[in-house]
Structure 1
Amino acid sequence: MDSISSRIQEVTPSLTLAVTNQAKAMLARGEEVYGLAGGEPEVDTPDHIKAAAMLAIQEGKTKYTAAGGIPELRSALSEKFAADNNLEYAANQICVTAGAKMACFNAILAVVEEGDEVIIPTPYWVSYPEMVRIAGGKPVLVETKESNGWKMTAEQFEDAMTPATKMVILNSPGNPTGAIYTEQELRDIGEVALSEDIVILSDEIYEKLVYGENKHVSIASLSKDLYDLTITVNGFSKAYSMTGWRLGYTAAPKPLAEAIEKIQNHSVSNATSFCQYGAVAALKGNQGFISDLRDEYDVKRQFVLSRLKAINNIRVVEPKGAFYFFVYTGQLGLKSMNLTDKLLSRYKVAAVPGIAFGYDEGIRLSYCTTLDVLNEGLTRFEQFCREH
């Protein structure tokens, strides 16, 4: 249709959502499906968070809010950044958004102009390149290596830069690989960004899901110069199991923060009012839910790792964070879409094809489900691998 913009015609639908919806449709028909594709915690939102949102509704806190969020939430987020990330953001440098996805989109729209290049390491989260395209920019994909833990090096970053480079996107801990950049790796990448004033979009949505001795580091905390170049993105979906609440946020230097809030003013106006009161309760309440969730996922992570390592014709790098495994399946001789289609239709196991993340010789398996589903799903996946 001629009336559809060329930018949107170039955008591809989210394959992660497509696989999840297909699996849900099969379940609705009464078919058994072992879902290893989802990107949301299987546990419910904690009761005290739900209670705060319901109280807000009862008290009539259901009207428009300031575009950047209610003062209580922005203040609580400012305290969170100081305590967790060694970052000083005033409340007016923080913008509460309708999900971390929108936070990323706002950040890209605030920086990227027609023809600007944005460097994105692959495998990447599915929406980064599409957001860049919608903004009129050009995604420049840097293929990371399994041998380097699926992380872009400073040298790769520098090699990919051109005079048109405007932004680099970092996701640590990462989706789909679970990779975590060390402090030194971030410093090295940061030095390259500083050399040409490249804006850094640091997506830290999985920061609370870090395992073992690994540490999450916010790149903006490493120096004043990096702080001035970085837009930090986070949200409530993963750590607090609040995916459907659609609450994310950006924190940025004042000029960038003001640009992001302008976009919010003229798009959704504000994140849902009563959900924001739930988010205040999440930040101010007992954080034991997060540590319990992390411990539970660590048990599942180690279980899945032991099962996958026992399969001869695949390879896997141990994920350090998030709740995914990115499995190299090149030895099976199938492209990722073909592989996941067969896996779902014949073995009733839902996984996400690697092509969704810019890497066609792998698939993403999620372990944010029950041990029973993991056990049976992995048994069927192992059978699939043996037969191919």
Structure 2
Amino acid sequence: MDFEPSARTKDYLERIKRFMREHIDPVESRYREEVNATCDGGDWKTWKVPSVMEELKARAKAEGLWNLFLPDAKLGAGLSVLEYAPLAEEMGRSFIAPEVFNCSAPDTGNMEVLWKYGSEEQKERWLKPLLAGDIRSVFCMTEPDVASSDATNMQATAVVDGNEVVLNGSKWWSSGLGHPKAKIIIFMARTPDTGGDRHHQHSMVLVPLDAKGVKIRRMLPVFGDYDAPHGHGEVHFDNVRVPLSNIISGPGMGFEIAQGRLGPGRIHHCMRCLGASEKALELMIDRGMKRTAFGKQLLNLGGNRERIAEARVAIDQARLLTLYAAWKMDQVGALGAMTEISAIKVAAPNVLQKVVDDAIQIHGGAGVSQDTMLSGFFAQARTLRLADGPDEVHKGLIARIELAKRGFSRS
């Protein structure tokens, strides 16, 4: 295996770095200030996207820095997962860069689902405007009333009724639900009449956000922050009827689609975590060398130099593991890289959480404010230890695969 970035990756990476340095870094603080000034708490109906975002997106699209995640040379950059990984890391240094390049979750995963599994009609109606950045999307999987770490617990239903499918249930932590441009939901639910096994009884259904019976109940704060103008909401589906053709790849295919969706998405998340870790480490070093206490620079007090060294070791270890997972996925697919994908899903967010925690300590009170990026990075790390499967589920999967290698059954 060879983790040397390809010529295409090097070219895109240099262009992304320059774009971020010249256009994103100078306005990121202003973007957040405008969001805070115009978004009234959890009332998503008041939320607005600062105009600078559309300006940046237009510039990025014009420069060909657009849809870089999609391994399709006609619709995206045509990069492999391994080739895209360093680009995701660089974007992870900023809260807004992924959206600027049309590479932000949950849109990337939803676009990949439509690209890989969608019908021509679904692609025309929903994939094209998503790829153009004209609309945003939502993914509804987690439910408030069951332990969603076991997706077979899902209670929401998608029942086929003639030429329609009827949707009922409650979802929450539906990311992007509050965005003014959110137009389409991918809703995962049980379809009990498929007759399949426990992993062929779920479907993914495309649901317009304005469909009758779709009711947004509230936005959920993460450590007190509503993450406007995107938001993470609770939404209820009350006898929502959509055409049968809105089911992606047919009834009972939900789990298969989910595995195809989550594999690349987890690698994207992990690489962005590493970019955030690098940024946090830089902030920690700069703060620690510019501030003094008790007659010394902060980094020369206590064990702070050791913390810097430990951060470097941990970040580089996690990066190598993530690049290996990306390489293996390219070689054998997500199912063949299950151990590696689960391993990075545990490793990368935990590395970010530890590095950010140390950086916050060096920053003192400023570290827990919104004057720096650190509180946002900490929230990102802590939530990613739950999102796309909690640490315990991924560790359990790794252990099961290891036991199987020695001939021991699942029990």
TM-score, reference length from structure 2: 0.24
Max Rg structure? 2
TM-score, reference length from structure 1: 0.25
Whose RCO is larger (CA < 8 A, sep 6+)?
1
More helix by share: 2
